[in-house]
Chains A and B, each alone.
Chain A
Amino acid sequence: MDYPHQNMPVFQVSELHHSFYSKKKEETKVLNGIDFQVFENEFVAIVGPSGCGKSTILNLMSGLIKPTKGSIRLRDREISSVHSSIGYIAQSDTLLPWRTVRRNVEVGLEIRGVEKEKRREIAMELIKKAELEGFEDAYPHQLSGGMRKRVDIIKVLAVEPEIIFMDEPFASLDVFTREILQKYVLKIWSENQRTIVFITHDLTEAITLADRIFILSQRPAKLKSTHHIDLKRPRDPEELKFNPRFLQLYEGIWKDLKSEVEMQVKK
């Protein structure tokens, strides 16, 4: 239970380099040779200083952009375009403002050609589970930030991706809402085992959620270190932060991260 990932890797990232080029062909080196694996049903968190290339890694892994050099294998096949088994919850709000909550949750199913009755049924079930009942006909502008984020998550869950990427999903929310949503994510993950790659600035969040944490260095980013989080599951985000083992882990990782984040500590 503590190590649900002693099986085959889902992702095999090796020697990953990436640079962006401006119009004047100036190079911005973002990733500088990154190697890691993500295992089946594992919960991985990636932590690193702002602007070091965390979102870039997810964009590469999801097939949105192609790496300058290196390889990303998803179950032994090189990623070459967007992949339907990956659900991506982006850093920014991506709800369609002209659709109601229910129709937003249905959008992925619609794209896949699922018929209307079935779509509605799946959407309503997810809305209920996310405690958004009564808001299915509301438009996004009528929801709070935390509710919008929940819709953003169930919108991705609706198509049942095996792998979920989350890019700082709770960065803009207050501590309490964040804890509630962390619980929600843990619930989703444990109910229906999936592989999750979760990006965050917030070390507490990373330790609370993940099996392993990857620490990235400043840009151009390298993998600085990997930490195993041996806290027992199920975990409760509210209580965990007072747990002695948690504090011990926190301190260790904090020291490791400190040298990198000197200037951009968030918490």
Chain B
Amino acid sequence: MIKALNLIFTNAKELGIRLSGFIILILFWETAVRIGWLNPFYTSQPTGIYSDLIDFYESGLLWRHTSVTLKATLWGLFFGSVSGIIVAFILGFSQTLAKVFEPLITGLYGIPKLALAPIFVLWFGLGIESKIIMSGLLVFFLVFFSTYGGIQDVDRNIVRSIRLMGATPFQIKYKVYLPATAPWILAGIKGGLGASLIGAIVGEYMGASAGLGWMISYSTSFFQVERVMSCIFILFLIGIIFNGILKIFERVLLRWRAPADFDQPL
């Protein structure tokens, strides 16, 4: 009982510490506007953003635009990750293909990909496709490089021992390489979370008829800074939620790893 209370207390304390920076920022912001240090025309103010969020929500627009952006982001994350993993495995096991394509991919990676957003809109239209492609492309590179590096790092002794047990090439990939690269793949996807959101938003800036990115650029042109801030706040929440979900995945998929601080002896 005392233990449970203690736990609740520590959790509350933990949460308080995590939130305190955020709360201080908001208080400072509101105060600064009220005493005239900041001009709300440019910065808006927390109370204003709050009432705008309510309007935004009640009009039904919030969910409509958020869902458009989420959809582009998640599909981008999905296609980018899957293609990154597949291409990394193909190049990781074929020296010839690696020789041809690795320099090409590295070269393409050097291009600032966001600069491609307008041309994607031209090629793939104003709809969601151009955003998914933009977002997927950003994710692809991160997941590809991470997975490819992971494949090079797999312990050859383990591979050999499985081969000696008579495993087929496919079994070796499925039973050794895939789980062994899981931490690398997840690290790639973790970086890809932010990238996929950026890809979708920038795609929407360039040309769209819905989505948080479109809403931000539209509201800016009408000087509705509150609405812009509302959208940014939603993006902020999406980022936190994505990270939280990924952390759960990590905990389940990588539970075999020794904890960094070795504080859990059996």
Interface residues of A (CB under 8 A from B): 62, 64, 82, 84, 86, 88, 90, 92-100, 107-108, 110-112, 135, 138-139, 141-142, 159
Assess whether B163 is in contact with A82, with CB atoms less than 8 Å apart.
yes
- Residue in B157, B165, B167, B256 whose CB lies within 8 Å of A139: B256
Within 8 A of A (CB), among B220-263: 255-258
- Residue in B166, B167, B256 whose CB lies within 8 Å of A98: B256
Chain A binding site: helix, strand, loop or mixed by DSSP? loop
Alpha-carbon distance A107/B166, docked complex (angstroms): 11
Closest 6 CB pairs of A and B: A94-B161, A141-B258, A98-B256, A108-B165, A98-B179, A92-B157
Nearest CB of B to A140, in Å? 8
Which residues in B have their C-beta under 8 angstroms from that of A92? 157
B179: nearest residue on chain A (CB-CB)? A98
Which residues in B have their C-beta under 8 angstroms from that of A82? 163-164, 166
Which residues in B have their C-beta under 8 angstroms from that of A138? 266
Knowing A90-B157, A138-B266, A142-B266, the reply to whether A107 touches B162 (Cβ < 8 A) is yes
Knowing A90-B157, A142-B266, the reply to whether A99 touches B256 (Cβ < 8 A) is yes
- Residue in A64, A135, A139 whose CB lies within 8 Å of B164: A64
Alpha-carbon distance A139/B180, docked complex (angstroms): 14
Assess whether B257 is in contact with A141, with CB atoms less than 8 Å apart.
yes
Alpha-carbon distance A138/B256, docked complex (angstroms): 9
Interface size on B, residues (CB 8 A): 23
Alpha-carbon distance A90/B175, docked complex (angstroms): 19
Assess whether B179 is in contact with A88, with CB atoms less than 8 Å apart.
no
Which residues in B have their C-beta under 8 angstroms from that of A98? 179-180, 182, 256
Alpha-carbon distance A142/B165, docked complex (angstroms): 25
Alpha-carbon distance A124/B74, docked complex (angstroms): 43
Binary CB contact string for chain B from 160 to 202 against chain A (1 if under 8 A, 0 otherwise):
1111111100010001100110100000000000000000000
A111: nearest residue on chain B (CB-CB)? B167
Nearest CB of B to A93, in Å? 8
- Residue in A86, A110, A112, A141 whose CB lies within 8 Å of B175: A110
Assess whether A97 is in contact with B256, with CB atoms less than 8 Å apart.
yes
Q: Does B158 contact A (CB under 8 A)?
A: yes
Nearest CB of A to B256, in Å? 4
Nearest CB of A to B224, in Å? 51
Alpha-carbon distance A108/B171, docked complex (angstroms): 11
Nearest CB of B to A133, in Å? 14
Alpha-carbon distance A141/B266, docked complex (angstroms): 10
Which residues in A have their C-beta under 8 angstroms from that of B179? 96, 98-99
Which residues in A have their C-beta under 8 angstroms from that of B162? 107, 111
